Structure 1
Amino acid sequence: MLDTLRRIVQEVNNAADIPSALDLMAKRVRDAMGTEVCSIYLRDEEEQRYMLMASEGLKREAVGKVSLGLSEGLVGQVGLREEPINLEDAFTHPKFHYLAGTGEDAFHAFLGVPVMHHGKVLGIMVVQQRDVRRFDQSEEAFLVTISAQLSAVIAHAHASGVLFDQLGGGADLPSFYDGLPGCPGAAIGYGVLLFPEADLASVPDRDVEDVSEEISRLDDALVRVRQEIRDLAERASRSLGAEEQALFDVYLRMLDRHALPAEVIAAIREGQWAQGALRTVIDVHVHNFEMMDDPYLRERAADVRDLGRRVLAQLQSQTRRHIIFPDECILLGEDISAPMLMEVPRERVRGIVTTRGSRNSHMAIVARAMGIPTVVGAQNLPLKKMDDKEIIVDGFRGRVVANASAELKQQFQEIIAEEESLQAGLEKLRDEPAQTLDGTRITLQVNTGLMTDINRSLERGAEGVGLYRTEIPFMVRDRFPSEEEQRVIYREQLAAFAPHSVTMRTLDIGGDKSLSYFPIEDENPFLGWRGIRVTLDHPEIFMVQVRAMIKASEGLDNLRIMLPMITSVIEAEEAQHLIHRAWLEVRDEGLDVSMPPVGVMIEVPASVYQARALAQRVDFLSVGTNDLTQYLLAVDRNNRQVASLYNSYHPAVLHALMHVVEQAREEHTPVSVCGEMAGEPSAALLLMAMGVDVLSMNASNLLKVKAAIRQVDISFVRRLLNEVLAMDNGEVIGSYVDLQLTKAGLGELLRNRKVLA
């Protein structure tokens, strides 16, 4: 049964479109269960009905025409109860509703299961049989398992807005693709797909310009690949037996003009460019091999895939893609690297969208530093269809819109204009203090990690750096940077912001931040070997970095060192001992440098409850609200399944922050916040009311936060804080804070939390 399930799921996932997927599912399930009818009803939210969208066994003409209300008939009952209904004779059930024109009057046995995704009913799958009998438990379990697999396909289509479009609905409806916000902002532009070389899966669809020229390119590529295979066979003859060498003959036969290439040429003649035609043909053959029962034949899929890559590499080598970036460009890719981003003319990039990655990816960090609206993890976005298409990037909500209506496009154009106008109006605040109307002052600093951050930060009046991510110089290299290389990088940061302080976080890798040359294999990376745990286990790495920091501070005296992922007092003390030793070593080398202040990051529950003990031992505390919220709520915010549960206004988060500030105040130890909350105007005001001394954020948010602070009295914000600390619902707290601040005249500054249509 497991093999049957695997084959069905694989076939459905490889279907060309939703109608094909549904038809395949109905046919395969009917055959696998040996029953007479399998039907699939999908929920149409607009009509509030279940539509019959596929059936094997009922009359074909009923598909797409017959429907039931959400509480009508046995199908409606399955949806209402959100559980299977298994009846030996459906006609005797009081909720049975006869559907004329379907031909179901001959079938008595009924088994219906809901197709659910994220707690929502998307449709109903039904099997029926003439006999009066009850489906057994194994049959019911099989159908429930199949429906769970189908839910992903339907949810994908729902999310992308193509479900009822493909099933015969409106062809001009906008399509929405949800991801995660990478950098707030909105943008409209034309997609430019960046894809790695020799990666078949990334090749986009593109219309052919000259059929003869494309075929000629393919022929040239095939000549080179055939020679490459012959050369490999020649080298292999010295070490392989005759049986293994025969594989190369198979490769050459597959590359014969009348074999795979003939199919590629046929696809080119149908209007597809050579690379896209190659991808289509290879995908079909790989799929066919993978569906075979024989394990040996299934393995041949890898051979076909390898051949495809070789031909693609030759096609790309002879026609290196010269990318033309339009004036309003939306960069698209599975996972755009930071170097790829830096090669694109900045003045033309309006937005970025990736189907993989997270908010903490190197690219997302770079995008925020550059202020480019970004959506990451938009898994359902059909990249190959988006090249050169007009796209809207909603970085506030983490959504991509294609085929937008004129009204929707106008709405986003207004939002973009408002943001530009707001930012221009805020520029005058650059040199003004972050001070409330009744005189309470707070320091606003920036989070940095790239050289491009420096100018943007200084232009916005940053009063130093609250978090310098030292892992970024490590991430862009293929080896650990030397002490001198690190010293030069750190010196540039320290000198640029002097005399303001620069807080440098020691190497923070692990979790979702990895180094290609220092791989960390963890089954649960966020609870594994990361942050200070790595560097304390490798003092040779830690000492080199700290020595470079201290040397870089010579004559400036504005360095502060911060330790990440501290979970115990012992870790802090051990790291402080190493830092003190590094300082003495640097002094012994003749450099006159001061011992820098040392602080710890509060980002796990353990450090929250040891805040006072830590405050007694270090010079400052800095709260990383991103990880702290994630760990307190047990929510991976980069996991789309649970990202909606991530809420910085959750009462547990607010009370934890309040506890840290109160405990630090007892020891007269300053507290800063360097997580995303610090850069959100409404959250920043609450943090200020708690008594936080420093807020550190992305440079693009600094002037908004400063503007919000300068428009309120601290007494008003403290009253607001006391009110929300008495509430027990994070969603209610967020809405209430926004409402009160909007009433106070700060509505335009809260755009980064506005939900768009």
Structure 2
Amino acid sequence: MLNTLRKIVQEVNAAKDLKAALAIIVQRVKEAMGSQVCSVYLLDPESNRFVLMATEGLNKRSIGKVSMAPNEGLVGLVGTREEPLNLEHAADHPRYRYFAETGEERFASFLGAPIIHHRRVMGVLVVQQKERRQFDEGEEAFLVTMSAQLAGVIAHAEATGSIRGLGRQGKGTQEAKFVGVPGAPGAAVGTAVVVLPPADLDVVPDRTVDDIEAEVERFKQALEAVREDMRRLSSKLETQLRPEERALFDVYLMMLDDASIGMEVKRVIRTGQWAQGALRQVVMEHVTRFELMDDAYLRERASDVKDLGRRLLAYLQEERKQNLVYQENTILVSEELSPAMLGEVPEGKLVGLISVLGSGNSHVAILARAMGIPTVMGVVDLPYSKVDGIELIVDGYHGEVFTNPSALLRKQYSEVVEEERQLVKGLDALRSLPCETLDGQRMPLWVNTGLLADVTRAQERGAEGVGLYRTEVPFMINERFPSEKEQLAIYREQLAAFHPLPVTMRTLDIGGDKALSYFPIKESNPFLGWRGIRVTLDHPEIFLVQVRAMLKASEGLDNLRILLPMISGTHETEEALHLIHRAWGEVRDEGVDIPMPPVGVMIEIPAAVYQTKELSRQVDFLSVGSNDLTQYLLAVDRNNPRVADLYDYLHPAVLQALKKVVDDAHAEGKPVSICGEMAGDPAAAVLLLAMGFDSLSMNATNLPKVKWLLRQITMSKAKELLAQLMTIDNPQVIHSSLHLALRNLGLGRVINPAATIQA
């Protein structure tokens, strides 16, 4: 059954649209189960009825015509109960409903399973049999497994179908909505520019070309280049491989032959498709064919074809790399956005970002928030290779993307964009004013930085210091570990830019979702693995060089604070302090006269929450990393769109942990700050103020909004609100109560300007 299932799913994945996918499903399931009928009913969200969309065994003319409400028929019952139904004689059931046009009166037995995707019932998969019989457990299990597998495929095909096949390049005219995860707040209206990862065949879009001969010539050159690579590889490995192993290269060369893949690709190019698109089409057809074969050896050949395809694509793209045309209002779309992609767009042209993978807390989203670019992450159903050049709307508040928006929707969102612009203009006036509540409580607002561009942005918005400087950024953009001298120059620039304000430099925090290409860490569970302080304590040579560079950079400025990430207990703090003192001694021996800077630890692991008092006695200050603390407390990988909606820093457990950290740190007379997304959320900042945090550190974009809100409220009102929310046990209720309370105080405008649009 497993083999059958795998084949069906592969065939369905390769189908060109939803209709074709459903036709394959009903045919293959009917064959696999030996039943006389297999049908798929899909729930139409507009009419809220289950519509017969494909069948093998019933009258095909009833497809699209027969439908039933959720409270009608056996199909409606399976859909509403959200569980399988197995009946020996369907007509005896009180919910049975007969449709003359389907011709189903001949079938007695009925087995139906709901198709559910992310808690949403999408349809029902049904098999029927003429003779009366109970389908056995194995058959029921197969149908349930099949519908679970198909839910994702149907969701994707359904979404894709709303854009695909409506015009030569797949540029449709219908408005469609795709839901992802909010990445960075704001709204944008613009044109999609799809950025493809290097040499990834799956995501090559369709594109038409006029000069067909030039395209054929480009492909011929790529073919020759790959042939040359193969010959060179073969002779290079002559001494290391046996002749039969080297024969693989001959197989590759044969595949590249004009009588094989080469000829097919040229044929597709001649239909007007560009070389990359033609290559994808041909390679994918071969791969699908190989993957469906029963023979394991032949199945493996699929990866050979893929490999060849990627090699050819790499050559085709090499020449075309810089050919992206950035529109005035560019919305960058990619399977997985990278910081480098953002950097490629000319200044002033980037208005929005869409990433198919990733979540609201991946690094690109954090960067986007720092840059103030509306972003939606994790839009897994968006057929992004088909949207190049079409008009899009990005709603970073709700995590929604609209393709081909109607004139009305475009007008509504254009108004939101303008409203945002006016709000930002109004907030600029706050720059020189202190962040102080109506009853005189001061709250220093610091910034998180990592890029040099952050410095200007932070100063323009009136930051009072740096609560978190991510030192891994210079490491991530390098091709080797930066030397002490190189690090010194970078750190000096940061310290000097903010002098005399404090700059908190976090020691190297790699691992988890932050990788260095020249220092790969391969782990099956990186978030619970070798990351942060664990890496640097295991590599004192990296840690000492970094701390020495920081200390030397602070000479004559004396505004450095050192912060240790991922601390899970007192022993790690002791070890790190020992190394910092050693580096300080070495630097002083070299004649650099600097005082010992304050050292702090990050509270981002639950273990550290319960050791706050002990840790406070060892260090000068504490800083809560709200992103990681939330992730670890709730056991939610913040980069996984499937569970992204469970990641919530207003969860009661998170609020209680934060309150405990502040109380315990203050009991030891130590200041505690908080950095991360929570600190930059104006509504959440009210609660952090009430808890007693000594400073908030956020991305520069949100600083004016937080300052505006905190200047409109009293400390006593904030404390009253916090006390009320700490009694609630449901995160959603906490959110709505908080927002309602702020709206009632007339303070809702900085939270979400797009709230009025009911799209």
Both proteins in one fold, TM over 0.5: yes
Structure 1 stretch displaced more, 35-44 or 193-202: 193-202
Determine if contact 1:184/1:752 at 8 Å carries over to the other structure. no
**What CA deviation, in whole Å up to 9, does each residue of 1:495-539 have, x standing for no partner?**
111111011111112221122222223322222222222222222
Matches within 5 A, 1:62-461: 62-157=62-157, 162=162, 172-230=173-231, 232=233, 243-319=244-320, 321-461=322-462
What is the SS of the residue equivalent to 1:97?
Answer: coil
**How far off its partner does 1:396 sit?**
2.1
Give the aligned partner of residue 57 of structure 1. Answer: 57
1: CA distance, partners of 2:504 / 2:345: 31
Determine if contact 2:636/2:646 at 8 Å carries over to the other structure. yes
Give the aligned partner of residue 513 of structure 1. Answer: 514
Determine if contact 2:673/2:696 at 8 Å carries over to the other structure. yes
2: CA distance, partners of 1:680 / 1:227: 56
TM norm structure 1 = 0.95
Unaligned runs of 5+ in 1: none
Distance 1:726 1:317, change over 3 A: closer
Determine if contact 2:290/2:299 at 8 Å carries over to the other structure. yes
Distance 1:585 1:220, change over 3 A: closer
What is the SS of the residue equivalent to 2:745?
Answer: helix
Letter in 1 for 2:80: L
**How far off its partner does 1:491 sit?**
0.9
Determine if contact 1:204/1:384 at 8 Å carries over to the other structure. yes
Distance 1:280 1:164, change over 3 A: closer
Letter in 2 for 1:661: V
1: CA distance, partners of 2:727 / 2:224: 74
Letter in 2 for 1:131: E
Give the aligned partner of residue 13 of structure 1. Answer: 13
Distance 1:38 1:231, change over 3 A: same
Distance 1:21 1:473, change over 3 A: same
Give the aligned partner of residue 699 of structure 2. Answer: 698
1: CA distance, partners of 2:489 / 2:473: 14
**How far off its partner does 1:616 sit?**
2.1
What is the SS of the residue equivalent to 1:745?
Answer: coil
Give the aligned partner of residue 614 of structure 1. Answer: 615
**What CA deviation, in whole Å up to 9, does each residue of 1:80-115 have, x standing for no partner?**
222111111111222211121111111111111111
Structure 1 stretch displaced more, 2-11 or 601-610: 601-610
Distance 1:700 1:319, change over 3 A: closer
Distance 1:89 1:205, change over 3 A: same
Determine if contact 1:362/1:472 at 8 Å carries over to the other structure. no
**How far off its partner does 1:335 sit?**
2.4
Distance 1:319 1:344, change over 3 A: closer
Distance 1:359 1:489, change over 3 A: farther
Determine if contact 1:443/1:694 at 8 Å carries over to the other structure. yes
Distance 1:241 1:568, change over 3 A: closer
Structure 1 stretch displaced more, 451-460 or 41-50: 41-50
Give the aligned partner of residue 722 of structure 1. Answer: 723
Q: Report sequence identity in percent.
A: 59
Structure 1 stretch displaced more, 227-236 or 405-414: 227-236
Distance 1:74 1:578, change over 3 A: same
1: CA distance, partners of 2:638 / 2:58: 44
2: CA distance, partners of 1:398 / 1:376: 7
Give the aligned partner of residue 478 of structure 1. Answer: 479
Letter in 1 for 2:656: H
Matches within 5 A, 1:553-564: 553-564=554-565
What is the SS of the residue equivalent to 1:272?
Answer: coil
1: CA distance, partners of 2:164 / 2:315: 40
**How far off its partner does 1:492 sit?**
0.8
Letter in 2 for 1:615: S
2: CA distance, partners of 1:653 / 1:465: 24
Give the aligned partner of residue 30 of structure 1. Answer: 30
Aligned pair 1:751/2:752, yes or no? yes
2: CA distance, partners of 1:57 / 1:163: 30
Structure 1 stretch displaced more, 189-198 or 236-245: 236-245
Determine if contact 1:18/1:163 at 8 Å carries over to the other structure. no
Give the aligned partner of residue 660 of structure 2. Answer: 659
Letter in 2 for 1:24: I
1: CA distance, partners of 2:224 / 2:161: 43
**How far off its partner does 1:3 sit?**
1.0
2: CA distance, partners of 1:531 / 1:313: 35
What is the SS of the residue equivalent to 1:146?
Answer: helix
**What CA deviation, in whole Å up to 9, does each residue of 1:212-256 have, x standing for no partner?**
332333334334444554555565666655544544444444334
Letter in 2 for 1:405: S
Distance 1:8 1:755, change over 3 A: farther
**How far off its partner does 1:594 sit?**
0.8
Matches within 5 A, 1:525-536: 525-536=526-537
**How far off its partner does 1:696 sit?**
0.4
**What CA deviation, in whole Å up to 9, does each residue of 1:651-677 have, x standing for no partner?**
221122111111122122111110211
Distance 1:755 1:502, change over 3 A: farther
Give the aligned partner of residue 592 of structure 1. Answer: 593
Give the aligned partner of residue 169 of structure 2. Answer: none
Determine if contact 1:203/1:279 at 8 Å carries over to the other structure. yes
Determine if contact 1:366/1:450 at 8 Å carries over to the other structure. no
**What CA deviation, in whole Å up to 9, does each residue of 1:19-78 have, x standing for no partner?**
111110111011011111111111112212111111111111111110111021111121
What is the SS of the residue equivalent to 1:450?
Answer: coil
Give the aligned partner of residue 670 of structure 1. Answer: 671
2: CA distance, partners of 1:512 / 1:394: 25
**What CA deviation, in whole Å up to 9, does each residue of 1:589-629 have, x standing for no partner?**
11111111111111122222222222222111111111112
Determine if contact 2:416/2:754 at 8 Å carries over to the other structure. no
Aligned pair 1:502/2:492, yes or no? no
**How far off its partner does 1:161 sit?**
7.7
**How far off its partner does 1:305 sit?**
2.2
Unaligned runs of 5+ in 2: 167-171
Structure 1 stretch displaced more, 550-559 or 718-727: 718-727
1: CA distance, partners of 2:613 / 2:239: 70
What is the SS of the residue equivalent to 2:102?
Answer: coil
**How far off its partner does 1:269 sit?**
3.1
**What CA deviation, in whole Å up to 9, does each residue of 1:355-412 have, x standing for no partner?**
2344454433433332222223322222211111111222222222211122221121
2: CA distance, partners of 1:509 / 1:245: 40
**How far off its partner does 1:291 sit?**
1.0
Determine if contact 1:335/1:354 at 8 Å carries over to the other structure. yes
* Cα RMSD, aligned residues only: 2.3
Q: How many equivalent residue pairs?
A: 754
TM norm structure 2 = 0.95
1: CA distance, partners of 2:312 / 2:606: 53
Determine if contact 2:183/2:369 at 8 Å carries over to the other structure. yes
2: CA distance, partners of 1:213 / 1:519: 41
Structure 1 stretch displaced more, 532-541 or 681-690: 532-541
